């Protein structure tokens, strides 16, 4: 099942995508794809319903919103691809590097990315995002951790490198500007092996990132297990699993994002996102 949300900002409603062109509304079955609905069994409720009895929609008639109604939290993993760690000059981590992003920065898969005022170091980072489907705390092993996963989607972990690296303190400051986490277009609950997926970012049609999730230092199963040891996970929480090499920061002459740039994010079996960069208007 591929679930997500359609509708204008603030008026999204829950759907199941039949393909890239059609969807069915499940608004009569569940209130939304939210923490509360997922905890109450929304996936089972929708899975067991008769799709033929639900309203059929043409996706192109609607804006595609973020697939979740405001995640409870976004946990992000840094330096989790070997080649990315190498391009930044960092040592290969011996444990996952964990930071957080504000849920407020999530936007839809085709919404605008707003460049912060005065920023000259806004960067892109395509990431496989893990969506938690059931409560998890102190998982006993990786199998138990994976049983708590509802599905997967695409994240763009947009980062302002000056605030992240040069302004002191933690990485979090460069990660949560408004619109800094495009997500979507849906959550896939039946994705094959998450460690064998091609992923890429293009900027204005130029391929900047191109790799596979097999280059991860810590696989998805370990990340979910590890995070559960240091924080409580709830349905609708998201784990961004790190980005491959090719970010602007790692270039000999960094080509950071500017207003007018079009960023396309792709992950095999999960589709594409396309976001246009604009200047923030104060």
**168 pLDDT above the threshold of 80:** no
* Residue 178 confidence class, pLDDT cut points 50, 70, 90: very high
Task: Residue 5: name the closest of 115, 100, 111 by CA.
Answer: 111
**156 pLDDT above the threshold of 90:** yes
* Averaged pLDDT of the chain: 96
pLDDT of residue 50: 92
Q: Which residue has the tokens 């095999």?
A: 268
Query: What pTM does this model have?
Result: 0.96
* Residue 277 confidence class, pLDDT cut points 50, 70, 90: very high
Any idea what the Cα angle at residue 208 is, between residues 227 and 170, rounded to 5°? 35
Lowest mean pLDDT among 47-51, 71-75, 94-98: 47-51
**88 pLDDT above the threshold of 90:** no
What is the C-alpha to C-alpha distance for residues 196 and 210, in angstroms, rounded to an integer? Answer: 13
pLDDT tens per residue across span 8-50? 999 999 999 998 899 999 999 999 999 999 999 999 999 999 9
Three-state SS for 35?
helix
What is the C-alpha to C-alpha distance for residues 66 and 183, in angstroms, rounded to an integer? Answer: 6
Count Cβ atoms within 10 A of the Cβ of residue 166 and give its class: 0-12 exposed, 13-18 middle, 19 or more buried: exposed
In order of their start, the domains of the chain are 2-61 (no CATH), 74-279 (3.90.850.10)
pLDDT of residue 89: 83
Longest CA span, the chain: 56
pLDDT of residue 83: 86
* Residue 215 confidence class, pLDDT cut points 50, 70, 90: very high
């Amino acid at each position: 099942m591929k679930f997500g949300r359609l509708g204008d900002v603030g008026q999204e409603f829950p759907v199941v995508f039949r393909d890239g062109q059609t969807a069915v509304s499940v608004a009569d079955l569940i209130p939304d794809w939210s923490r509360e609905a997922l905890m109450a069994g929304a996936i089972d409720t929708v899975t067991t319903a008769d799709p033929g009895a639900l309203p059929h929609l043409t996706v192109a008639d609607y804006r595609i919103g973020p697939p979740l109604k405001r995640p409870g939290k976004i946990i992000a993993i840094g330096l989790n691809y070997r080649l990315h760690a190498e391009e930044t000059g960092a040592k290969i981590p011996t444990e996952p590097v964990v930071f957080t992003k504000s849920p407020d920065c999530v936007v839809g898969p085709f919404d605008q990315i707003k460049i912060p005022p005065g920023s000259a170091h806004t960067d892109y980072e395509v990431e496989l995002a893990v969506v938690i489907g059931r409560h998890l705390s102190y998982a006993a092993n990786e199998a138990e951790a994976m049983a708590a996963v509802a599905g997967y989607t695409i994240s763009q972990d947009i980062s302002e490198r000056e605030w992240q690296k040069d302004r002191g303190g933690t990485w979090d400051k460069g990660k949560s500007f408004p619109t800094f986490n495009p997500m979507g277009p849906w959550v896939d609950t039946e994705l094959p092996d998450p460690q064998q997926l091609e992923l890429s970012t293009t900027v204005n049609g130029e391929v900047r990132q191109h790799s596979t999730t097999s280059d991860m230092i810590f696989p998805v199963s370990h990340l979910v297990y590890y995070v559960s040891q240091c924080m409580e996970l709830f349905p609708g929480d998201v784990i961004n699993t790190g980005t491959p090499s090719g970010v602007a920061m790692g270039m000999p002459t960094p080509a950071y994002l500017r207003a007018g740039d079009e960023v396309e994010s792709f992950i095999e079996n999960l589709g594409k996102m396309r976001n246009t960069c604009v200047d923030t208007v104060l």
